[in-house]
């Protein structure tokens, strides 16, 4: 892939731009393999059972362009001539003069995205929305966030500093929707998001619905996952489809044969809108998902209801790091969460302390009486736990709890092989059975890794 913005130094987001794609894939695979080298297993015989070496699957390739389903565009310029893209990366953020570059034609975006961007730009001009100027701290419209579904429907969110221009935006929305419907990319969700603070974040806490029913359906492998404005969704739809499909297949394969693990209960921790949960939900399986974002949980519950699965695929808002600490209720209101930043860092009101670790009693936990405060989906110990945390990994509390638990299979999907390796080091009772790199983020050095761990 070749990019004029990269070549001109206007955008440096794609660090590997210009590196042939086959080489990017080889590098990503080698990098992850290197990070996990201490955990790769040789063939061995344990208690008379022959255990094969770690099965390292060929990396899953992405399309090298046109793969992104989501755009977070900084709005600069003027209402008459808005630019949708990024702030000039060559200036220090603290002393930025507000210059931005228009990246509507960025080659990473899925076909159809630019049609949405162009219609949004026309709306900004018609409504007279003033782009926020980071240098002068004036103006209202900070960012536009667009998500495009595989069915060519979209969600458009306008991130505003205040409600000063909300009425003008509200009055413009029907025209925008009319244009997008005529162009074949109907906007099924339009919202305003408020970000009053002068901070380099893509969005704020408050979401104001302007049109639509607040859910966009992302259809992957025939499963219509509902997405609401503030819920996380994997940005590369095709690669996410392959990731979820492999996860389901690996669990099916691990549950069959001589050493097969009967899989009746699955936990999907850090579940987002339930991508893993719905792919792993079988006829005779219960799945429980836990996630810190209430919007994502509401979306996952809407999917369960729409698919007629609400009786056996359930979700709760809560801190996944404490999910296996059966001795204590995982009450969301005992923790005060900050927002996840782009880097994936969360600011927690409370860090996991030695005290919370000592209250975790996982050796006996899976057999303990179910906590009546918990719903059916997680009243009993799971056979499989899926974890898909942000870049910081699952951390000490959850990895130590998993290590001491009776859980037979763990599927760990990670976007950071370094923290994955750190977490695996705290779980020596698990054998790394299978691994695969998924190129979720072509043109960058980042990749997603799925590993299947089986208790020795």
Ligand X SMILES: C[S@@+](CC[C@H](N)C(=O)[O-])C[C@H]1O[C@@H](n2cnc3c(N)ncnc32)[C@H](O)[C@@H]1O
Q: Which positions make up the binding site for S-adenosyl-L-methionine?
A: 234, 270, 291, 388
Nearer Cβ to ligand X, position 54 or 217?
217
Stretch that binds ligand X, among 57-65, 110-118, 318-326, 416-424 (CB under 6 A): 318-326
Query: Considering only residues 35, 76, 241, 388, which one is a binding residue for ligand X as defined by CB under 6 A?
Result: 388
Rg of the chain over all Cα atoms, to the nearest angstrom: 23
Total binding residues for ligand X by CB under 6 A? Answer: 21
69 near ligand X (CB under 6 A): no
Whether residue 393 contacts residue 352, with contact meaning beta carbons closer than 8 Å, is answered with: no
Nearer Cβ to ligand X (22/357): 357
Which of 11, 14, 106, 415 is catalytic? The answer is 415
- Among residues 362, 390, 393, 442, which is the contact residue for ligand X, using CB under 6 A? 390
Nearest approach in angstroms of CB 248 to ligand X is 13
Distance, in Å, from the CA atom of 123 to the CA atom of 328, rounded to the nearest integer, reads 51
Asked about 106 being catalytic, the answer comes back as no
Taking the least distance from each CB to ligand X, the nearer of 187 and 387 is 387
Characterize 414-423 residue by residue with b for buried, 16 or more Cβ atoms within 10 angstroms of its Cβ, and e for exposed.
bbbbebbbbb
235 binds ligand X per the rule CB under 6 A: no
Torsion angle defined by CA atoms of residues 164, 165, 170 and 175, in that order, rounded to the nearest 10 degrees: 180
Q: Are the beta carbons of 100 and 62 closer than 8 angstroms?
A: no
The site string for ligand X over 324-363 (x = CB under 6 A, - otherwise) reads ----------------x-----x-----------------
Q: Is 272 in the site for ligand X (CB under 6 A)?
A: yes
Main-chain dihedrals φ then ψ at residue 254, nearest 5 degrees: -70, -15
Query: At its nearest, how many Å lie between ligand X and the CB of residue 341?
Result: 11
Q: What minimum distance in Å lies between the beta carbon of 253 and ligand X?
A: 20
Looking at 59, 82, 107, 275, which residue binds ligand X (CB under 6 A)?
275
**Window contacting ligand X (CB under 6 A); options: 155-163, 195-203, 316-324, 427-435:** 316-324
320 lines the binding site for ligand X (CB under 6 A): yes
Binding-site sequence positions: 234, 270, 291, 388
Q: Does 319 bind ligand X (CB under 6 A)?
A: yes
Q: Footprint of ligand X on residues 111-170 (CB under 6 A)?
A: none
3-state class of 431 per DSSP? strand
d(CA 67, CA 440): 9
Q: Distance from first CA to last CA of the chain, Å, rounded? A: 44
Q: Please report how close the Cβ of residue 137 comes to ligand X at its closest, in angstroms.
A: 29
Task: Provide, rounded to whole angstroms, the least separation between the CB of residue 27 and ligand X.
Answer: 22
Nearest residue to 88 via CA among 80, 78, 79, 98: 98
Structure tokens that stand for 349 in this block: 């009101």
d(CA 271, CA 288): 9
Q: Residue 296: CB partners within 8 Å, gap ≥ 6?
A: 228, 230, 231, 232, 271, 272, 273
Helix axes 21-35, 417-425, angle to 10 degrees: 20
What is the SS3 assignment for 452?
A: strand
The Cα–Cα gap between 217 and 363 comes to 41
Select 54 or 303, whichever has its Cβ closest to ligand X.
303
Spatial distance between the Cα atoms of 20 and 61, rounded to a whole number of angstroms: 13
Question: Nearest distance from residue 347's CB to ligand X, in Å?
Answer: 11
Q: Contact with ligand X (CB under 6 A): which of 132, 276, 288, 438?
A: 276
> Which residues form the interface with ligand X (CB under 6 A)?
232-234, 270-272, 275-276, 290-293, 296, 319-321, 340, 346, 388-390
| Residues involved in catalysis | 415
């Amino acid at each position: 892939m070749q990019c004029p913005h990269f070549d001109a130094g206007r955008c440096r987001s794609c660090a590997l731009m210009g590196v042939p794609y086959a080489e990017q894939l080889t590098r990503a695979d080698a990098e992850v393999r290197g990070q996990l080298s201490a955990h790769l297993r040789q063939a061995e015989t344990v208690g008379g059972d022959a255990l094969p070496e770690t099965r390292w699957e060929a990396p899953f390739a992405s399309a090298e362009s046109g793969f992104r389903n989501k755009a977070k565009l900084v709005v600069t310029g003027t209402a008459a001539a808005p630019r949708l893209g990024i702030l000039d990366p060559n200036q220090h953020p603290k002393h930025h003069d507000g210059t931005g570059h228009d990246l509507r034609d960025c080659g990473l975006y899925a076909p159809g995205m630019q049609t949405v961007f162009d219609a949004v730009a026309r709306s900004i001009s018609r409504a007279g929305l003033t782009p926020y100027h980071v240098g002068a701290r004036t103006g209202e419209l900070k960012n536009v966030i667009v998500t495009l579904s595989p069915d060519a429907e979209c969600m458009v969110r306008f991130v505003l500093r205040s409600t000063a221009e909300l009425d003008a935006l509200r009055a413009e929305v029907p025209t925008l929707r009319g244009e997008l419907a005529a162009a074949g990319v109907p906007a099924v969700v339009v919202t305003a998001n408020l970000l009053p603070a002068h901070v380099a974040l893509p969005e704020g806490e408050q979401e104001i619905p302007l049109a639509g029913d607040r859910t966009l359906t992302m259809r992957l492998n025939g499963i219509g996952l509902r997405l609401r404005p503030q819920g996380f969704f994997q940005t590369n739809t095709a690669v996410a489809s392959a990731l979820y499909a492999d996860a389901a297949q690996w669990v099916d394969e691990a549950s069959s044969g001589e050493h097969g693990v009967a899989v009746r209960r699955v936990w999907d921790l850090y579940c987002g809108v339930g991508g893993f949960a719905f792919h792993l939900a079988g006829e005779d399986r219960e799945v429980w998902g836990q996630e810190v974002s209430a919007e994502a949980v509401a979306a996952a519950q809407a999917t369960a209801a729409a698919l007629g699965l609400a009786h056996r695929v359930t979700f709760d808002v809560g801190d996944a790091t404490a999910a296996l600490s059966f001795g204590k209720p995982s009450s969301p209101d005992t923790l005060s969460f900050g927002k996840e930043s782009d880097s994936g860092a969360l600011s927690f009101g409370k860090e996991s302390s030695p005290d919370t670790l000592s209250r975790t009693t996982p050796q006996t936990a899976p057999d303990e009486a179910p906590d009546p405060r918990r719903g059916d989906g997680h009243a009993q110990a799971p056979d499989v736990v899926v974890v898909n945390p942000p870049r910081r990994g699952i951390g000490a509390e959850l990895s130590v709890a998993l290590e001491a638990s009776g859980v037979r299979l763990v599927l760990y999907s990670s976007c950071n092989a370094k923290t994955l390796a750190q977490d695996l080091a705290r779980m020596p009772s698990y054998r790394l059975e299978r691994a695969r790199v998924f190129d979720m983020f072509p043109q960058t050095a980042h990749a997603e890794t799925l590993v299947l761990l089986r208790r020795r």
